[in-house]
Structure 1
Amino acid sequence: MQQLTPAGQNVVDDLARRYNLSQNAVMEMLVAVNQGGGFMAQFWCGELGGGGQWMRGGMTMVGDMFNHGLKNTVDNLCNDLSNALANTQMFPVAPPGSRNSNQWWPGDLGSPFSSGGQNNIRYAVFPQRLAVELNGQVTVYDTLDHSIGGVSQQQGGDSSLSFSSQFGTVSVNSLPIVSGPGLPQAPQHNFATQAPPMASEPQPSATPSWNPPPQPSFDPPPASAQRSGNASSSDDLIGLIEKLARLRDAGALTDQEFNAKKSELLGRL
C-alpha cells in the first residue's frame, strides 16, 4: 500500500468511517483520483460495485448503472478526496528526480512550460529541452530551434513520441540526446516492398475445354460413290433425307428448307 503522511492517514480513516468503507477501498479511490490530477478518476473497487469513472462536475459511472445511491456515494467520496489532495499533504514528498516525485526531471531544468504523460511515459517541456521518462529512466533531449506545441504518443502499444512545432510533426528520436538512454526506436515497416508472390494457380485455358459435337454433313457423297451406282450410294442419300426429316421435326429446318434439300438429294440418285 502507498505510504501516507500522518495527515493523509487521518483523512483516509475519517472517510472510511463516514462512508462505511474499508481503508483499502478509500486508498484505492485516493490513488485513482490522484492519478487523474485530482479532477478525474478511473477505478476498480469491489466495495463500490467494481469498475467505474468519475469526473469532477461531470458524469459519474459505476458498474451498476441504475444504482443512483452508489453513484452519489462515489461522486461525494471522489470530491472529498479531490479536496483533500488540494489542501492536505497526503503523500510523503519524494526527492526531486525520483520516480514518485511530481518533479521527476533533473532539477537543473527548472520549471517546465508544460508536462503530461500517457501510459508509462511522462514528458516535460523546457526552454530548448524536452525531458522524457520511460519506466523510471529519464532522457533529456535538445529541442534545437523547435518551438514545441504538443507531444503525442504513437498508437499501437510502442513507446515512440512525436511533437508538433513550427516545422510540423517531428519524432522525438530525431532530436539530439543531452543525457539518458533515449527511447527505443519504433519498428519500421516498408509497405512499398513487394509482397512475395503467391503460389501460382492453374490458369484457365484460352481454348474452351468443351467442343461442340460435329454437325451432320449434308454434302453429297464422293464422286466415286456417285459414279459407282451401287446400292450403298442410295442408302447414304436416304439416310441423309431421314436426318433432314428429324431436323425438320425438331424445328431446326422449315418445311421449305427440308423440301428443297430433299429434292436436291433425290435428283442425285
Structure 2
Amino acid sequence: MQQLTPEGEKIINDLAQRYSFTPDAVFSMLQSVINGNGSMAQFNHPEFGGSGQWMKGGMIMLSDMFNHNLKHSIGGLCQELANLVANQPGLIQRGSFQSQHQGTQQQNNDNVCHQAQNSSGPTGAFSLFVPPPAGSSGNWWPEGLPYPSSTGSQNHVRYAYFASLRRLAIELNGHVTLYDTLDHQIGGFSQQQSVGGSITFNSQYGLVDVNSLPIISIDNQAVEPATDDPPASSSLNPPSPVTSSAETREADIFSTIEKLASLKDKGILTDDEFSAKKTELLARL
C-alpha cells in the first residue's frame, strides 16, 4: 500500500473531521475509489455500516439501507475522493475508462472539490502518495499481473484479487503468496481470521479457507503441486457436476433480482438503483 505524503495525510485528516469518520476509514475508502477507477467504490468497513457500493452519479447501496445520514455522508466523501484522485497522475487507468474520467473532469467543474476550497488544504499541485523508488512499480503483488479487481488490508495482511485471471495474492509477514481461486466468485472479501489464524473469504460456496486453494507461487517463486496429495481443489468443489453449479449460480442471481425488485416496489430502492444492480447481476450469467 502506498504511503501518503504530508499533504495527503492532511487531506485525509480534514475529510475525516468534516465527515465524522476516522482517518483509517477515509483512507480505506480512498483505496476503494482508486480500485474503482474513480467512478465507483466497493467497500467494507464498520464505520460505513459494513459492505456497500458507491457509483458516480449518486447510486449508493449500504447494508444499513435505512441510515440516510450515513448514505449522505458516504456519498459526499466518495465524490470528494473521486475528484481528488482524478487530478492525481497515474491513479486513474486510461483506455476503456477514458469517458468516465472525462465525466469526472466535468463534475470537477460543476462540483468543486472541497480540498481546493479549504484554506487548510494544499492550494497548488501536490502528490497524494509518496512516489515509489526508481525502477519500482510500487505494487506489492507479483510482477506481470494487471491492476487487481479489488484490494484491502487488515491486521498486517494485504490481499489483491484478480477476478479475470482467477488469482488471489496475499501478503503476510513480508511474504507474498499467489493462489489459484479456481471457480470461486469472491465477493466482499472479508479478511476474517479464524481462531487458528487462517485467512478466509466468502464465495458462492460459503466461507472458504485460503489454505485450501492451490498455491501458484511464493515470493515470485513457482510452487510445483504435490503429486502424492489429492488436488487442493477437491474439498472445495461441490459433489455435483459443473453444470449443476452453474445452474445453482444462475438460480441465485435470479432470486437476488426478485428480492431487489421487491425492495424497489416498496420504495426502498429507486428505479436507477434497481436497474444498475440488475445489470450487474445479469452480466454474471
Query: Which has the higher Rg, Structure 1 or Structure 2?
Result: 1
TM value normalised by structure 1:
0.41
Query: Which structure would you say has the larger RCO, counting Cα contacts within 8 Å and 6 or more residues apart?
Result: 2
**Normalization by structure 2: what TM-score?**
0.39
